[in-house]
Amino acid sequence: MGSQFDPHVANTLVSVHSKCRWLADARKLFDNMFQTDLVKWNCMMAGLVQHGFMEEGSNLLKEMISAGVKPDGRTFATFLPSVADSMSFTLGKEIHGYILRHGISLDVFLKSALIDIYWYVLNGKANSALEVFRWFLQEKMSPNSLTMAIIFTCMCQPSGSETGRGIAWQNPEEWASIRR
């Protein structure tokens, strides 16, 4: 069915079906599409993980890599929040390692998702989230207000107070210009 459509239309259909929670239909469209582009995989994966089907999303990620389609920052920025919600630190570390080993570009969304992993999954080990944030700053990335809310929360935790103090005093004038 999906193969008769232009790839952009087919990807949109997979995305719409996923957003409407018609995941079986979305998967049918996905399986019948001839193109093997990254957008196709990202649309299907987003639908699965956004509706709580973490295991299926994880399996799809493995299937994608096995098919020779290289995930990008959007793939992982979509996938990582569900990893944080599932409290799967091992999977989060594996994904972070994959990102580093394969030189995947780290944009603000992916870096924020990585910070979320270390904050939510490590339960009280805020220092790890702050170290990721320090790296974020060294890469000259501008944090948004959500990232800063997480970081300020980490700074209040006993395990993050010392590292947080160092970050807070590093560039205090920059905190006034945080993007919303």
Q: Tell me, what's the pLDDT at 92?
A: 79
Q: Tell me, what's the pLDDT at 109?
A: 86
Rounding to the nearest 10 degrees, give the CA dihedral for residues 124, 129, 130, 132.
Answer: 160
Q: Tell me, what's the pLDDT at 175?
A: 54
Tens digit of pLDDT for each residue in 147-177?
Answer: 777 777 777 766 555 566 566 555 555 555 5
Tokens of 79: 């996938």
Do 113 and 81 form a contact (C-beta atoms < 8 A)? yes
Distance CA 125, CA 173 (A): 27
Q: Tell me, what's the pLDDT at 19?
A: 87
H/E run at residue 2: none
pLDDT average, residue stretch 45-67: 92
CA angle 146, 149, 72 (to 5 degrees): 40
Phi and psi at 144, nearest 5°, equal -95, 180
Has residue 81 got a pLDDT over 70? yes
Q: Tell me, what's the pLDDT at 2?
A: 43
The pTM assigned to this predicted structure is: 0.65
Q: Identity (one letter) of the amino acid at 82? A: S
Do 108 and 77 form a contact (C-beta atoms < 8 A)? no
